[in-house]
Structure 1
Amino acid sequence: MLSKNQIKYIKRLGQKKFRLQERSFVVEGVKTINELLQSHLKLHQLYTTKSINSDAKTENLITESDLKRISFLKTPNTALAVFKMPEFKPVHNNALIVALDNVRDPGNLGTIIRLCDWFGVKDLVCSKQTVDCYNPKVLQATMGSITRVNVSYLDLDMFLNDTEAPVFGAYMDGDIVYKNALPKQGVLVMGNEANGISKTIEQHITKRITIPRFGEIQATESLNVATATAILLSEFRR
Protein backbone atom coordinates (compact mmCIF):
# COMPACT_ATOMS: atom_id res chain seq x y z
CA MET A 1 0.00 0.00 0.00
CA LEU A 2 1.31 3.45 -0.93
CA SER A 3 2.08 5.89 1.84
CA LYS A 4 0.77 9.45 1.88
CA ASN A 5 4.31 10.73 1.28
CA GLN A 6 4.74 8.52 -1.79
CA ILE A 7 1.44 9.70 -3.24
CA LYS A 8 2.25 13.34 -2.49
CA TYR A 9 5.70 13.03 -4.08
CA ILE A 10 4.39 11.49 -7.29
CA LYS A 11 1.51 13.96 -7.66
CA ARG A 12 3.89 16.87 -7.12
CA LEU A 13 5.92 15.63 -10.10
CA GLY A 14 3.00 16.88 -12.19
CA GLN A 15 4.41 20.37 -11.53
CA LYS A 16 7.29 21.57 -13.70
CA LYS A 17 8.96 23.39 -10.78
CA PHE A 18 9.03 20.24 -8.65
CA ARG A 19 10.24 18.07 -11.57
CA LEU A 20 13.19 20.38 -12.11
CA GLN A 21 13.91 20.50 -8.39
CA GLU A 22 13.92 16.70 -8.10
CA ARG A 23 15.35 16.07 -11.59
CA SER A 24 12.68 13.36 -11.93
CA PHE A 25 9.57 12.73 -14.02
CA VAL A 26 6.61 10.35 -14.30
CA VAL A 27 5.90 7.95 -17.18
CA GLU A 28 2.76 5.85 -17.55
CA GLY A 29 1.97 2.77 -19.63
CA VAL A 30 3.81 -0.55 -19.91
CA LYS A 31 5.02 -0.01 -23.50
CA THR A 32 6.56 3.40 -22.81
CA ILE A 33 8.03 2.31 -19.47
CA ASN A 34 9.69 -0.72 -21.11
CA GLU A 35 11.21 1.54 -23.78
CA LEU A 36 12.64 3.81 -21.10
CA LEU A 37 13.94 0.83 -19.11
CA GLN A 38 15.95 -0.20 -22.17
CA SER A 39 17.40 3.29 -22.58
CA HIS A 40 20.12 5.25 -20.81
CA LEU A 41 17.60 6.75 -18.38
CA LYS A 42 17.78 5.74 -14.73
CA LEU A 43 14.70 4.27 -13.06
CA HIS A 44 13.84 5.61 -9.61
CA GLN A 45 10.63 3.67 -8.79
CA LEU A 46 8.16 1.47 -10.66
CA TYR A 47 4.56 1.00 -9.52
CA THR A 48 2.37 -1.60 -11.23
CA THR A 49 -0.81 -3.58 -10.60
CA LYS A 50 0.84 -6.68 -12.07
CA SER A 51 4.47 -7.54 -12.79
CA ILE A 52 5.62 -6.29 -16.19
CA ASN A 53 8.50 -8.79 -16.22
CA SER A 54 11.15 -6.12 -16.06
CA ASP A 55 14.53 -6.48 -14.39
CA ALA A 56 13.72 -3.48 -12.24
CA LYS A 57 14.63 -4.08 -8.60
CA THR A 58 12.36 -1.22 -7.63
CA GLU A 59 9.12 -2.77 -8.94
CA ASN A 60 6.30 -2.19 -6.44
CA LEU A 61 3.05 -4.13 -6.80
CA ILE A 62 0.09 -1.91 -5.92
CA THR A 63 -3.70 -2.07 -6.18
CA GLU A 64 -5.73 -0.51 -9.01
CA SER A 65 -7.14 1.87 -6.41
CA ASP A 66 -3.64 3.11 -5.50
CA LEU A 67 -2.71 3.43 -9.17
CA LYS A 68 -5.72 5.70 -9.72
CA ARG A 69 -4.54 7.89 -6.83
CA ILE A 70 -1.13 8.53 -8.40
CA SER A 71 -2.02 8.45 -12.11
CA PHE A 72 -2.30 11.57 -14.27
CA LEU A 73 -4.58 9.73 -16.73
CA LYS A 74 -8.36 9.46 -16.66
CA THR A 75 -7.94 5.74 -17.27
CA PRO A 76 -4.72 4.51 -15.60
CA ASN A 77 -2.64 2.11 -17.71
CA THR A 78 -1.43 -0.74 -15.43
CA ALA A 79 1.93 0.82 -14.56
CA LEU A 80 3.53 4.11 -13.55
CA ALA A 81 7.25 4.80 -13.17
CA VAL A 82 9.45 7.62 -11.91
CA PHE A 83 12.66 8.16 -13.87
CA LYS A 84 15.60 10.51 -13.37
CA MET A 85 16.16 13.24 -15.96
CA PRO A 86 19.22 12.76 -18.16
CA GLU A 87 22.26 15.03 -17.99
CA PHE A 88 22.41 17.97 -20.40
CA LYS A 89 23.92 17.16 -23.79
CA PRO A 90 25.21 19.82 -26.24
CA VAL A 91 23.40 20.39 -29.53
CA HIS A 92 25.11 19.06 -32.68
CA ASN A 93 25.05 21.91 -35.18
CA ASN A 94 26.21 19.91 -38.21
CA ALA A 95 22.81 18.30 -38.85
CA LEU A 96 19.13 19.10 -39.31
CA ILE A 97 17.70 20.64 -36.12
CA VAL A 98 14.10 21.45 -35.24
CA ALA A 99 13.54 24.54 -33.07
CA LEU A 100 10.26 25.39 -31.35
CA ASP A 101 9.27 28.95 -30.56
CA ASN A 102 6.79 28.88 -27.68
CA VAL A 103 4.85 25.72 -28.57
CA ARG A 104 2.47 25.27 -25.66
CA ASP A 105 0.31 22.21 -26.29
CA PRO A 106 1.66 19.00 -24.67
CA GLY A 107 0.21 16.80 -27.41
CA ASN A 108 1.89 18.86 -30.11
CA LEU A 109 5.28 18.71 -28.42
CA GLY A 110 5.00 14.98 -27.80
CA THR A 111 4.10 14.36 -31.44
CA ILE A 112 6.96 16.56 -32.66
CA ILE A 113 9.44 14.63 -30.51
CA ARG A 114 8.11 11.44 -32.07
CA LEU A 115 8.45 12.97 -35.55
CA CYS A 116 12.06 13.95 -34.85
CA ASP A 117 12.74 10.34 -33.88
CA TRP A 118 11.06 9.05 -37.06
CA PHE A 119 12.94 11.42 -39.38
CA GLY A 120 16.29 10.98 -37.66
CA VAL A 121 16.49 14.47 -36.14
CA LYS A 122 18.73 14.06 -33.09
CA ASP A 123 18.29 17.54 -31.60
CA LEU A 124 15.13 19.44 -30.76
CA VAL A 125 15.78 22.95 -29.43
CA CYS A 126 12.95 24.56 -27.47
CA SER A 127 12.50 28.12 -26.29
CA LYS A 128 12.22 28.38 -22.54
CA GLN A 129 8.51 29.24 -22.95
CA THR A 130 7.78 25.95 -24.73
CA VAL A 131 5.88 23.32 -22.72
CA ASP A 132 8.09 21.04 -20.61
CA CYS A 133 9.02 17.80 -22.41
CA TYR A 134 8.68 15.92 -19.10
CA ASN A 135 5.06 16.93 -18.69
CA PRO A 136 3.14 13.61 -18.30
CA LYS A 137 0.92 14.40 -21.33
CA VAL A 138 3.97 15.12 -23.50
CA LEU A 139 5.64 11.87 -22.46
CA GLN A 140 2.47 9.94 -23.23
CA ALA A 141 2.43 11.36 -26.77
CA THR A 142 6.12 10.61 -27.44
CA MET A 143 5.53 6.84 -27.12
CA GLY A 144 9.13 6.37 -25.94
CA SER A 145 10.80 8.63 -28.51
CA ILE A 146 11.94 10.93 -25.69
CA THR A 147 14.82 8.47 -25.15
CA ARG A 148 16.18 8.98 -28.68
CA VAL A 149 15.85 12.74 -29.15
CA ASN A 150 17.99 15.28 -27.31
CA VAL A 151 15.54 17.98 -26.17
CA SER A 152 17.25 21.20 -25.06
CA TYR A 153 15.66 24.29 -23.49
CA LEU A 154 17.74 27.29 -24.48
CA ASP A 155 17.52 31.00 -25.12
CA LEU A 156 16.30 30.50 -28.70
CA ASP A 157 17.20 34.05 -29.72
CA MET A 158 20.81 33.53 -28.62
CA PHE A 159 21.01 30.02 -30.11
CA LEU A 160 19.89 31.19 -33.55
CA ASN A 161 22.14 34.23 -33.36
CA ASP A 162 25.15 31.97 -32.83
CA THR A 163 24.36 29.37 -35.48
CA GLU A 164 26.00 29.53 -38.90
CA ALA A 165 23.48 27.14 -40.45
CA PRO A 166 20.59 28.37 -42.63
CA VAL A 167 17.45 29.00 -40.58
CA PHE A 168 14.10 28.08 -42.13
CA GLY A 169 10.85 29.40 -40.70
CA ALA A 170 7.37 27.98 -41.27
CA TYR A 171 4.99 30.75 -42.38
CA MET A 172 1.66 31.11 -44.13
CA ASP A 173 3.19 33.46 -46.71
CA GLY A 174 6.61 31.88 -47.35
CA ASP A 175 7.99 30.28 -50.50
CA ILE A 176 6.27 27.02 -51.42
CA VAL A 177 8.36 24.26 -49.86
CA TYR A 178 7.83 21.88 -52.79
CA LYS A 179 9.60 24.31 -55.13
CA ASN A 180 12.72 24.74 -52.99
CA ALA A 181 15.90 22.68 -52.74
CA LEU A 182 16.42 21.95 -49.05
CA PRO A 183 19.81 21.26 -47.42
CA LYS A 184 20.74 18.30 -45.21
CA GLN A 185 21.88 20.71 -42.51
CA GLY A 186 20.02 23.65 -41.05
CA VAL A 187 17.46 24.74 -38.46
CA LEU A 188 13.70 24.44 -39.01
CA VAL A 189 11.78 26.84 -36.75
CA MET A 190 8.14 26.12 -35.91
CA GLY A 191 6.10 28.76 -34.14
CA ASN A 192 3.42 29.05 -31.48
CA GLU A 193 0.03 27.44 -32.21
CA ALA A 194 -1.86 30.76 -32.18
CA ASN A 195 0.72 33.41 -33.03
CA GLY A 196 3.35 31.65 -35.16
CA ILE A 197 7.00 32.66 -34.99
CA SER A 198 7.64 35.66 -32.73
CA LYS A 199 9.13 38.94 -33.97
CA THR A 200 12.27 38.32 -31.90
CA ILE A 201 12.93 34.98 -33.59
CA GLU A 202 11.80 36.20 -37.02
CA GLN A 203 14.91 38.34 -37.36
CA HIS A 204 17.04 35.17 -37.50
CA ILE A 205 15.02 33.48 -40.28
CA THR A 206 17.00 33.29 -43.52
CA LYS A 207 14.31 31.49 -45.55
CA ARG A 208 10.53 31.62 -45.11
CA ILE A 209 8.77 28.48 -46.32
CA THR A 210 5.12 27.44 -46.51
CA ILE A 211 2.95 24.41 -47.21
CA PRO A 212 0.39 25.47 -49.85
CA ARG A 213 -3.33 24.86 -49.55
CA PHE A 214 -4.85 22.82 -52.38
CA GLY A 215 -8.51 22.92 -51.37
CA GLU A 216 -10.78 24.79 -53.79
CA ILE A 217 -12.39 26.98 -51.14
CA GLN A 218 -9.18 27.42 -49.10
CA ALA A 219 -11.09 28.32 -45.95
CA THR A 220 -8.79 26.41 -43.55
CA GLU A 221 -6.90 28.98 -41.51
CA SER A 222 -3.73 26.97 -40.88
CA LEU A 223 -2.29 23.53 -40.22
CA ASN A 224 -1.70 22.12 -36.75
CA VAL A 225 1.96 22.75 -35.84
CA ALA A 226 2.74 19.04 -35.43
CA THR A 227 1.12 18.21 -38.78
CA ALA A 228 3.10 20.99 -40.46
CA THR A 229 6.31 19.73 -38.85
CA ALA A 230 5.66 16.25 -40.28
CA ILE A 231 5.19 17.57 -43.82
CA LEU A 232 8.23 19.86 -43.69
CA LEU A 233 10.54 17.20 -42.21
CA SER A 234 9.41 14.82 -44.94
CA GLU A 235 10.43 17.40 -47.53
CA PHE A 236 13.80 18.04 -45.88
CA ARG A 237 14.54 14.31 -45.88
CA ARG A 238 13.29 13.80 -49.42
Structure 2
Amino acid sequence: MLSKNQIKLITSLQQKKYRDLHQLFVAEGNKLISDLIAAKTKVEYLIYTKEWNTKNSIGNQVKINNRIETDAIQMKKISSLKSPSSVLAVFKMPTREVNEKNIQNSLSILLDDVQDPGNLGTIIRIADWFGIKHIFCSCNTVDLYNPKVIQATMGAISSVNVSYVDLKTMILKYKKPDFPIYGTFLEGEIIYKCELQKKGFIIMGNEGKGVSESIQKLVSNKLYIPDFPCGEAASESLNVSVATSIICSEFRRQEF
Protein backbone atom coordinates (compact mmCIF):
# COMPACT_ATOMS: atom_id res chain seq x y z
CA MET A 1 0.00 0.00 0.00
CA LEU A 2 1.01 3.61 -0.46
CA SER A 3 2.42 5.53 2.48
CA LYS A 4 1.07 8.94 3.47
CA ASN A 5 4.23 10.59 2.16
CA GLN A 6 3.88 8.84 -1.19
CA ILE A 7 0.25 9.95 -1.48
CA LYS A 8 1.28 13.49 -0.59
CA LEU A 9 4.04 13.49 -3.22
CA ILE A 10 1.84 12.12 -6.00
CA THR A 11 -1.06 14.48 -5.34
CA SER A 12 1.34 17.44 -5.17
CA LEU A 13 2.37 16.70 -8.76
CA GLN A 14 -0.96 18.06 -9.94
CA GLN A 15 0.65 21.47 -9.37
CA LYS A 16 3.35 22.81 -11.68
CA LYS A 17 5.61 24.13 -8.91
CA TYR A 18 5.95 20.67 -7.40
CA ARG A 19 6.40 19.00 -10.79
CA ASP A 20 9.25 21.43 -11.47
CA LEU A 21 10.68 20.95 -7.98
CA HIS A 22 10.78 17.15 -8.17
CA GLN A 23 11.15 16.89 -11.98
CA LEU A 24 8.35 14.32 -11.95
CA PHE A 25 4.98 13.95 -13.67
CA VAL A 26 2.01 11.58 -13.50
CA ALA A 27 0.41 9.46 -16.21
CA GLU A 28 -2.66 7.23 -15.91
CA GLY A 29 -3.99 4.37 -18.02
CA ASN A 30 -2.53 1.29 -19.73
CA LYS A 31 -1.77 2.69 -23.19
CA LEU A 32 -0.28 5.98 -22.04
CA ILE A 33 1.96 4.32 -19.47
CA SER A 34 2.99 1.57 -21.92
CA ASP A 35 3.96 4.14 -24.56
CA LEU A 36 6.03 6.16 -22.09
CA ILE A 37 7.82 3.06 -20.84
CA ALA A 38 8.47 1.93 -24.44
CA ALA A 39 10.01 5.37 -25.08
CA LYS A 40 12.40 4.68 -22.20
CA THR A 41 10.95 7.35 -19.92
CA LYS A 42 12.24 6.54 -16.42
CA VAL A 43 9.59 5.23 -14.04
CA GLU A 44 9.78 6.31 -10.39
CA TYR A 45 6.60 4.54 -9.22
CA LEU A 46 4.20 2.09 -10.84
CA ILE A 47 1.00 1.90 -8.80
CA TYR A 48 -1.86 -0.49 -9.54
CA THR A 49 -4.74 -2.47 -8.06
CA LYS A 50 -4.59 -6.22 -7.50
CA GLU A 51 -7.23 -6.78 -10.18
CA TRP A 52 -5.19 -4.86 -12.74
CA ASN A 53 -2.00 -6.77 -11.86
CA THR A 54 -3.58 -10.16 -12.55
CA LYS A 55 -4.42 -9.13 -16.14
CA ASN A 56 -1.48 -6.94 -17.17
CA SER A 57 2.29 -7.06 -17.40
CA ILE A 58 3.13 -3.41 -18.17
CA GLY A 59 6.69 -2.58 -17.26
CA ASN A 60 7.87 -6.17 -16.75
CA GLN A 61 10.38 -5.69 -19.56
CA VAL A 62 12.21 -2.93 -17.68
CA LYS A 63 13.51 -2.50 -14.17
CA ILE A 64 11.07 -0.58 -11.97
CA ASN A 65 12.17 -0.43 -8.35
CA ASN A 66 8.97 0.92 -6.88
CA ARG A 67 6.03 -1.27 -7.84
CA ILE A 68 3.19 -0.68 -5.41
CA GLU A 69 -0.06 -2.61 -5.21
CA THR A 70 -2.91 -0.62 -3.72
CA ASP A 71 -6.71 -0.51 -3.68
CA ALA A 72 -9.41 1.52 -5.43
CA ILE A 73 -9.76 3.88 -2.46
CA GLN A 74 -6.12 4.95 -2.61
CA MET A 75 -6.19 5.11 -6.40
CA LYS A 76 -9.02 7.62 -6.12
CA LYS A 77 -6.95 9.73 -3.70
CA ILE A 78 -3.98 10.03 -6.05
CA SER A 79 -5.84 10.23 -9.38
CA SER A 80 -6.63 13.50 -11.17
CA LEU A 81 -9.35 11.78 -13.23
CA LYS A 82 -13.07 11.73 -12.46
CA SER A 83 -13.02 8.00 -13.10
CA PRO A 84 -9.62 6.83 -11.82
CA SER A 85 -7.68 4.25 -13.77
CA SER A 86 -6.53 1.04 -12.11
CA VAL A 87 -2.91 1.89 -12.95
CA LEU A 88 -0.91 5.09 -12.44
CA ALA A 89 2.77 5.84 -12.93
CA VAL A 90 5.08 8.61 -11.81
CA PHE A 91 7.78 9.38 -14.39
CA LYS A 92 10.98 11.38 -14.38
CA MET A 93 10.86 14.33 -16.78
CA PRO A 94 13.09 13.41 -19.72
CA THR A 95 15.86 15.61 -21.07
CA ARG A 96 14.73 17.04 -24.39
CA GLU A 97 17.26 17.71 -27.12
CA VAL A 98 16.63 19.92 -30.14
CA ASN A 99 17.87 18.57 -33.46
CA GLU A 100 18.74 21.77 -35.37
CA LYS A 101 19.37 20.01 -38.68
CA ASN A 102 15.93 18.40 -38.45
CA ILE A 103 14.33 21.77 -37.75
CA GLN A 104 16.01 23.42 -40.74
CA ASN A 105 14.69 20.76 -43.12
CA SER A 106 11.21 20.01 -41.83
CA LEU A 107 8.03 21.51 -40.40
CA SER A 108 7.76 22.52 -36.75
CA ILE A 109 4.77 23.89 -34.84
CA LEU A 110 5.13 27.03 -32.69
CA LEU A 111 2.48 27.71 -30.05
CA ASP A 112 1.98 31.33 -29.00
CA ASP A 113 0.46 31.28 -25.47
CA VAL A 114 -1.96 28.35 -25.92
CA GLN A 115 -3.69 28.05 -22.56
CA ASP A 116 -6.04 25.07 -22.61
CA PRO A 117 -4.43 21.74 -21.55
CA GLY A 118 -6.74 19.77 -23.83
CA ASN A 119 -5.69 21.87 -26.80
CA LEU A 120 -1.98 21.36 -26.16
CA GLY A 121 -2.41 17.62 -25.68
CA THR A 122 -4.47 17.32 -28.86
CA ILE A 123 -1.96 19.38 -30.86
CA ILE A 124 0.80 17.01 -29.74
CA ARG A 125 -1.29 14.09 -31.01
CA ILE A 126 -1.87 15.92 -34.30
CA ALA A 127 1.86 16.60 -34.69
CA ASP A 128 2.61 12.93 -34.09
CA TRP A 129 0.00 11.82 -36.64
CA PHE A 130 1.37 14.11 -39.34
CA GLY A 131 5.02 13.32 -38.64
CA ILE A 132 5.96 16.67 -37.10
CA LYS A 133 8.68 15.99 -34.55
CA HIS A 134 9.15 19.39 -32.89
CA ILE A 135 6.74 21.73 -31.10
CA PHE A 136 8.07 24.98 -29.62
CA CYS A 137 5.93 26.67 -26.99
CA SER A 138 6.08 30.22 -25.70
CA CYS A 139 6.96 30.45 -22.02
CA ASN A 140 3.32 31.36 -21.24
CA THR A 141 1.89 28.28 -22.94
CA VAL A 142 0.25 25.76 -20.59
CA ASP A 143 2.69 23.33 -18.94
CA LEU A 144 3.45 20.18 -20.94
CA TYR A 145 3.31 18.05 -17.79
CA ASN A 146 -0.10 19.27 -16.62
CA PRO A 147 -2.03 16.00 -16.01
CA LYS A 148 -4.76 17.07 -18.46
CA VAL A 149 -2.15 17.67 -21.17
CA ILE A 150 -0.52 14.28 -20.53
CA GLN A 151 -3.85 12.45 -20.75
CA ALA A 152 -4.92 14.34 -23.90
CA THR A 153 -1.74 13.32 -25.75
CA MET A 154 -2.81 9.67 -25.59
CA GLY A 155 0.85 8.65 -25.60
CA ALA A 156 2.02 10.97 -28.39
CA ILE A 157 4.11 12.87 -25.82
CA SER A 158 6.68 10.09 -26.17
CA SER A 159 7.10 10.75 -29.92
CA VAL A 160 7.10 14.55 -30.19
CA ASN A 161 9.82 16.83 -28.80
CA VAL A 162 8.15 19.74 -26.97
CA SER A 163 10.32 22.66 -25.84
CA TYR A 164 9.64 26.03 -24.18
CA VAL A 165 11.48 28.92 -25.78
CA ASP A 166 11.35 32.63 -26.50
CA LEU A 167 9.41 32.45 -29.77
CA LYS A 168 10.75 35.70 -31.19
CA THR A 169 14.36 34.60 -30.66
CA MET A 170 13.55 31.17 -32.11
CA ILE A 171 11.97 32.61 -35.25
CA LEU A 172 14.77 35.11 -35.87
CA LYS A 173 17.35 32.33 -35.54
CA TYR A 174 15.86 30.26 -38.36
CA LYS A 175 14.04 32.79 -40.53
CA LYS A 176 15.53 32.89 -44.05
CA PRO A 177 14.16 33.53 -47.56
CA ASP A 178 13.91 29.76 -48.12
CA PHE A 179 12.54 29.01 -44.62
CA PRO A 180 8.94 30.31 -44.41
CA ILE A 181 7.19 31.41 -41.21
CA TYR A 182 3.52 30.48 -41.53
CA GLY A 183 0.78 31.90 -39.32
CA THR A 184 -3.03 31.64 -39.27
CA PHE A 185 -5.05 34.84 -39.69
CA LEU A 186 -8.51 35.92 -40.78
CA GLU A 187 -6.99 38.19 -43.44
CA GLY A 188 -4.53 35.64 -44.79
CA GLU A 189 -4.38 33.84 -48.13
CA ILE A 190 -6.75 30.89 -48.45
CA ILE A 191 -4.67 27.87 -47.50
CA TYR A 192 -6.08 25.70 -50.29
CA LYS A 193 -4.72 28.17 -52.87
CA CYS A 194 -1.21 28.34 -51.37
CA GLU A 195 1.81 26.38 -52.50
CA LEU A 196 3.11 25.14 -49.16
CA GLN A 197 6.69 24.11 -48.49
CA LYS A 198 7.90 20.98 -46.71
CA LYS A 199 9.83 23.02 -44.16
CA GLY A 200 9.25 26.05 -41.97
CA PHE A 201 7.43 27.12 -38.81
CA ILE A 202 3.65 26.89 -38.41
CA ILE A 203 2.57 29.39 -35.73
CA MET A 204 -0.71 28.83 -33.87
CA GLY A 205 -2.00 31.55 -31.58
CA ASN A 206 -3.76 31.93 -28.26
CA GLU A 207 -7.38 30.69 -28.05
CA GLY A 208 -8.80 34.18 -27.54
CA LYS A 209 -6.21 36.60 -28.90
CA GLY A 210 -4.64 34.68 -31.75
CA VAL A 211 -1.00 35.28 -32.71
CA SER A 212 0.51 38.08 -30.62
CA GLU A 213 1.40 41.35 -32.34
CA SER A 214 5.16 40.98 -31.86
CA ILE A 215 5.11 37.54 -33.48
CA GLN A 216 2.77 38.63 -36.28
CA LYS A 217 5.48 40.97 -37.56
CA LEU A 218 7.78 37.99 -38.16
CA VAL A 219 5.28 35.95 -40.19
CA SER A 220 6.18 35.69 -43.88
CA ASN A 221 3.16 33.67 -45.05
CA LYS A 222 -0.31 34.43 -43.64
CA LEU A 223 -2.76 31.57 -44.04
CA TYR A 224 -6.55 31.60 -43.79
CA ILE A 225 -8.89 28.62 -43.34
CA PRO A 226 -12.12 29.65 -45.14
CA ASP A 227 -15.57 28.89 -43.79
CA PHE A 228 -18.25 27.31 -46.00
CA PRO A 229 -20.31 28.34 -47.75
CA CYS A 230 -18.40 31.59 -48.25
CA GLY A 231 -20.29 34.74 -47.36
CA GLU A 232 -22.73 33.09 -44.95
CA ALA A 233 -22.68 33.58 -41.19
CA ALA A 234 -20.57 30.99 -39.33
CA SER A 235 -18.73 30.54 -36.05
CA GLU A 236 -16.36 33.40 -35.22
CA SER A 237 -13.30 31.16 -35.24
CA LEU A 238 -12.06 27.58 -35.07
CA ASN A 239 -10.69 25.88 -31.99
CA VAL A 240 -6.88 26.09 -32.15
CA SER A 241 -6.38 22.32 -32.14
CA VAL A 242 -8.99 21.86 -34.90
CA ALA A 243 -7.29 24.60 -36.94
CA THR A 244 -3.90 22.94 -36.40
CA SER A 245 -5.28 19.65 -37.70
CA ILE A 246 -6.68 21.26 -40.86
CA ILE A 247 -3.43 23.12 -41.56
CA CYS A 248 -1.16 20.12 -40.98
CA SER A 249 -3.42 17.98 -43.15
CA GLU A 250 -3.16 20.45 -46.06
CA PHE A 251 0.64 20.64 -45.74
CA ARG A 252 0.89 16.87 -45.96
CA ARG A 253 -1.75 16.57 -48.71
CA GLN A 254 0.36 18.73 -50.98
CA GLU A 255 3.25 16.27 -50.63
CA PHE A 256 1.31 13.59 -52.53
* Aligned residue identity for 2:16: K
Deviation at 1:88, TM superposition (A): 2.6
Q: Distance in 1 between matches of 2:98 and 2:35?
A: 23
Query: Partner residue of 1:125?
Result: 136
* Aligned residue identity for 2:181: V
Q: Distance in 2 between matches of 1:70 and 1:237?
A: 41
Deviation at 1:236, TM superposition (A): 0.8
Q: Distance in 1 between matches of 2:228 and 2:70?
A: 53
Query: Partner residue of 1:207?
Result: 221
Return structure 1 stretches of 4+ with deviation > 3 angstroms. none
Paired residues, number? 238
Secondary structure, aligned partner of 1:231: helix
Query: Partner residue of 1:86?
Result: 94
Q: Is 2:248 aligned against 1:233?
A: yes
> Which has the larger displacement, 57-66 or 93-102?
57-66
Q: Distance in 2 between matches of 1:85 and 1:70?
A: 19
Deviation at 1:91, TM superposition (A): 4.4
1:46-101 superposed Cα distances (whole Å, 9 cap, x missing partner): 11112131215332111000000000001101111000111131143221000000
Secondary structure, aligned partner of 2:27: strand
1:140-194 superposed Cα distances (whole Å, 9 cap, x missing partner): 0100000000000001111111113210001111100000000000000000000
Query: Partner residue of 2:32?
Result: 32
Secondary structure, aligned partner of 2:228: coil
* Aligned residue identity for 1:202: Q
Query: Partner residue of 2:76?
Result: 68
Q: Distance in 2 between matches of 1:202 and 1:107?
A: 25
TM-score (norm 2): 0.90
* Aligned residue identity for 2:251: F
Equivalent in 53, 56, 61 of residue 57 of structure 2: 53
Q: Distance in 2 between matches of 1:143 and 1:115?
A: 11
Runs of 5+ consecutive residues of structure 1 not aligned to the other structure:
none
* Aligned residue identity for 1:180: C
> Which has the larger displacement, 222-231 or 50-59?
50-59
Query: Partner residue of 1:196?
Result: 210
* Aligned residue identity for 2:234: A
Residue pair 2:227, 2:234 contacting (<8 A) in 1 also? no
Q: Distance in 2 between matches of 1:11 and 1:62?
A: 15
Give the RMSD, CA atoms, in angstroms. 1.1
Q: Is 2:107 aligned against 1:96?
A: yes
Identical aligned pairs, as a percentage? Answer: 47
Q: Distance in 2 between matches of 1:90 and 1:34?
A: 24
1:19-65 superposed Cα distances (whole Å, 9 cap, x missing partner): 11211100011111111111121111011112131215332111000
Q: Distance in 2 between matches of 1:47 and 1:170?
A: 43
1:195-215 superposed Cα distances (whole Å, 9 cap, x missing partner): 000011111101110100013
